[in-house]
Amino acid sequence: MGYQAKFRVWRGAGRPDETITATEADGALHDYEVEVNEGEVVLDVIHRLQQTQTPDLAVRWNCKAGKCGSCSAEVNGKPRLMCMTRMSTFDEAETVTVTPIRTFPLIRDLVTDVSYNYEKAREMPAFAPPPGVEPGEYRMQQVDVERSQEFRKCIECFLCQNTCHVVRDHEENKPEFSGPRLFIRAAELDMHPLDDRADRKEFAQAEQGIGYCNITKCCSEVCPEHIHITDNAIIPMKERVVDRKYDPITWLGSKIGRR
Ligand code: F3S
């Protein structure tokens, strides 16, 4: 059975921050009543809102199947994919509040500028096989393939980047901090037996700012692919960084190995 849901949606180019008194021009939360049908998700309701009441509502989406990572937003204050958030999880009398993810500059309504993530991705040295090994000649053990398979499930929704407190309320940390999405990429390459490029541990520490992470695990909690970002990527990477730097036997071994 359908019903009329109460939706509160951010409209405008200002920031949905309760500490700021938003004007209509800057942006404000707007209230709507929208039809909801059985089996629908939040993105369906946002689309119906566009079709029936707010044709100029800006919203980014693509696959509507939880695989493109485009429709990230905060639903009742929680970072979510709108296409994977079922309306049945809310009480029919409840007001559902939809605001843009807030760690990135707002463009308008529910759309943010996520360039920060791409800039950080560009800083990372790409995978490089050993000299003389051509594409098509890569051979590796199945166990090595499986070890990093989890990290390749990332759909780049950037909910982990959005929720990490290191940058969420601290714009000033962005130049030094690449964030959990890029830490799993570094971990994946560090585990790759054919990656002959840079020292990923050194890069994670010196260039990506992995030391800023204090293991709050918020990134893992919001990951729609259920990647164990903290336990399987960040903590092992931190341990390897510490081993390299402070364990005397590892340190000595690396010195001898370099000769
Ligand atoms: Fe941030 Fe995840 Fe670390 S949320 S502080 S990168 S555990």
pLDDT of residue 161: 98
pLDDT of residue 230: 97
181 C-alpha to ligand 1 centroid (Å): 10
pLDDT band at 33 (very low <50, low <70, confident <90, very high): very high
Q: How many Å separate Cα 185 from the centre of its chain?
A: 12
- Residue 76, Cβ neighbours under 10 Å: how many? 16
- In Å, how far are 49, 90, 150, 221 from 35, measured between CA atoms? 9, 14, 38, 30
pLDDT beyond 70 at 20: no
Cβ-Cβ contacts under 8 Å for 130 (sequence gap 6 or more)? 194, 196
Closest C-alpha residue for ligand 1 atom 6: 180
Q: Atom of ligand 1 at shortest distance to CA of 179?
A: 6
Q: Enumerate residues lining ligand 1, CB below 6 A.
A: 164, 166, 180, 213-219, 230, 234
pLDDT beyond 90 at 90: yes
Q: Atom of ligand 1 at shortest distance to CA of 160?
A: 4
| Spatial distance between the Cα atoms of 110 and 117, rounded to a whole number of angstroms | 18
96 C-alpha to ligand 1 centroid (Å): 27
Beta partners for residue 29, in sequence order: 10
Do residues 12 and 22 make contact, with C-beta atoms less than 8 angstroms apart?
yes
What's the average model confidence in pLDDT over 230-256?
81
pLDDT of residue 243: 78
Q: Which two tokens stand for residue 201?
A: 């541990």
Q: Atom of ligand 1 at shortest distance to CA of 217?
A: 7
36 C-alpha to ligand 1 centroid (Å): 36
185 C-alpha to ligand 1 centroid (Å): 14
pLDDT of residue 78: 96
Mutation probe of ligand 1 site: the residue of 158, 217, 220, 232 with most atoms within 8 A of C-beta: 217
| Spatial distance between the Cα atoms of 198 and 207, rounded to a whole number of angstroms | 12
pLDDT tens sequence across 196-236: 877 898 899 999 999 999 999 999 999 999 999 999 999 99
Closest C-alpha residue for ligand 1 atom 3: 213
180 C-alpha to ligand 1 centroid (Å): 6
Secondary structure, 3-state, the chain: CCEEEEEEEEECCCCCCCCCCCCCCCCEEEEEEEEECCCCEHHHHHHHHHHHCCCCCCCCCCCCCCCCCCCEEEECCEEEEHHHCEHHHCCCCCEEEEECCCCCCEEECCEECCHHHHHHHHHCCCCCCCCCCCCCCCCCCHHHHHHHHHHHHCCCCCHHHHHCHHHHCCHHHHHHCCCHHHHHHHHHHHHCCCCCCCCHHHHHHHCCCHHHCCCCCHHHHHCCCCCCHHHHHHHHHHHHHHHHHHCHHHHHHHHHHHC
pLDDT band at 244 (very low <50, low <70, confident <90, very high): confident
| Spatial distance between the Cα atoms of 221 and 114, rounded to a whole number of angstroms | 20
Q: Atom of ligand 1 at shortest distance to CA of 230?
A: 7
What's the average model confidence in pLDDT over 175-200?
92
Average predicted confidence (pLDDT) for the chain: 91
The residue assigned the tokens 């990429």 is: 185
Give pTM, 2 decimals.
Answer: 0.89
117 C-alpha to ligand 1 centroid (Å): 15
pLDDT beyond 80 at 1: no
pLDDT beyond 70 at 259: no
163 C-alpha to ligand 1 centroid (Å): 8
Q: Which two tokens stand for residue 142?
A: 């199945």
Q: Atom of ligand 1 at shortest distance to CA of 183?
A: 6
222 C-alpha to ligand 1 centroid (Å): 11
Do residues 226 and 150 make contact, with C-beta atoms less than 8 angstroms apart?
no
pLDDT tens sequence across 110-144: 999 999 999 999 999 999 998 988 888 889 899 99
Closest C-alpha residue for ligand 1 atom 5: 213
Whole-complex ipTM: 0.95
